[in-house]
Amino acid sequence: MNKILVFGHQSPDTDAITSAITFSHLQNELGKETEAVALGETTDETNYALNYFGVTAPRVITTAAEETQEVMLVDHNESQQSVPDIDKVKILAVVDHHRIANFQTANPLFYRAEPVGCTNTIIFKLFKENNVDIPKHIAGLMLSAIISDTLLLKSPTCTKEDENVAEELAKLAGVELEAYGKALLKAGTDTSSKNADMILNDDAKNFPMGNLTVRIGQVNVVDVDEILVRKQELLEEMASQSDANAIDLFILLVTDVLNSDSIAIVYGDEQAEVSKAFNKEITDATMVLKGVVSRKKQVVPPLTAQFK
């Protein structure tokens, strides 16, 4: 087998999983032989979307080079967020909406990034530009990703373009945007069955900042107290994982998806620096971040600036 593999980042969220599926669908319609795969198991939220639109979860891979020479990346570009042997394969294409860093190729490639709220908003445009029809289940997965990444169009990363695309996709998918969106987000916020490791890492990424490795996880809830009551358990797990994986600073962003606020649980020696970065006090390892919902736009930039 020698299909081109298409995948999103490690600890995949709904956009990482579905953009692999939707971009692979587009590429296959354009005559390429591709397969959507994943760098981790799907979350409850993603499973809700996959079940709703009758799509099977992509198989999980831990290596790319053993089965292909060519890959396409969606929803990420940084090598430390990708498959471990990314340096052994040729990257043909990237579709992403994040900053570009720790990314390098030997050859020209197709790279499409736009500062929008969701990778699938860009993939929607690629379908249009290439005059490829969007089937109902693909539209439904794209819509789910936009809802997930923009917290139902309320995140500061959400652009007018994401809104317009979401409305058009809701029609194609045959769902009512607001009702489907709330059900999807609610499906993703049940933390009662999750252990500390899952809460920390189901949607977590490493960011090199200065000399430090900063790991930032994010968990969406409808009530932050359900996480705060487990703070001691979470801090112990953060301590053990930081030690095992050479993480200098571990932050868990607990985001109230209905009110669009977050609290951060902070583990590591750099508490004073983190406090300075946000100009907020850290009390008992906890920092209140009113109006903060976007890791990419509201958490990574002030930390990057502080540790530069």
Contacting a copy of itself within 58-97 (CB under 8 A): 97
From the CB of 127, what's the least distance to a copy of itself, in Å? Answer: 13
| Burial class (CB within 10 angstroms; exposed 0-12, middle 13-18, buried 19+) of 62 | exposed
What's the closest the beta carbon of residue 72 comes to a copy of itself, in angstroms? 13
Binding positions for a copy of itself, 239-298, rule CB under 8 A:
296-297
Closest CA to 103 of 81, 125, 123, 136: 81
Binding of residue 100 to a copy of itself (CB under 8 A): yes
What gap in Å lies between CA 236 and CA 129, rounded to an integer? 50
Q: Cβ closer to a copy of itself: 87 or 197?
A: 87
110 lies in the site for a copy of itself, by CB under 8 A: yes
User: Furthest-apart CA pair in the chain: how many Å?
Assistant: 56
The nearer residue to a copy of itself, 12 or 117, going by C-beta atoms, is 117
Residue with tokens 């500062």: 115
Identity of the residue, 76 or 137, whose beta carbon is nearer to a copy of itself in the bound complex = 76
State in angstroms the smallest separation of the CB of 81 from a copy of itself. Answer: 14
**Contact by Cβ (8 Å): 25, 137:** no
Neighbours of 234 (CB within 10 A): 23
Burial of 182 (0-12, 13-18, 19+ CB in 10 A): middle
Q: How far is it, in rounded angstroms, from Cα 215 to Cα 206?
A: 4
Minimum separation from the CB atom of position 5 to a copy of itself (A)? 19
Cβ at position 247, least distance to a copy of itself in Å: 21
Q: How far is CA 160 from CA 118, 146, 166, in A?
A: 12, 12, 10
CB of residue 83 vs a copy of itself: minimum separation in angstroms? 18
Query: Does residue 105 touch a copy of itself according to CB under 8 A?
Result: yes
- The nearest distance, CB 308 to a copy of itself, in angstroms, is 9
Q: Which residues pair with 7 in a beta bridge?
A: 73
Number of residues that make up the chain: 308
Q: For a copy of itself, which stretch binds (CB under 8 A), given 110-118, 215-223, 225-233, 239-247?
A: 110-118
Residue 160 interacting with a copy of itself (CB under 8 A)? no
* Stretch of 10-18, 107-115, 148-156, 226-234 contacting a copy of itself, by CB under 8 A: 107-115
**Count of CA atoms in the C-beta half-sphere (13 A) of 145:** 35
Binding site for a copy of itself (CB under 8 A): 97-115, 129, 296-297, 301, 304-305
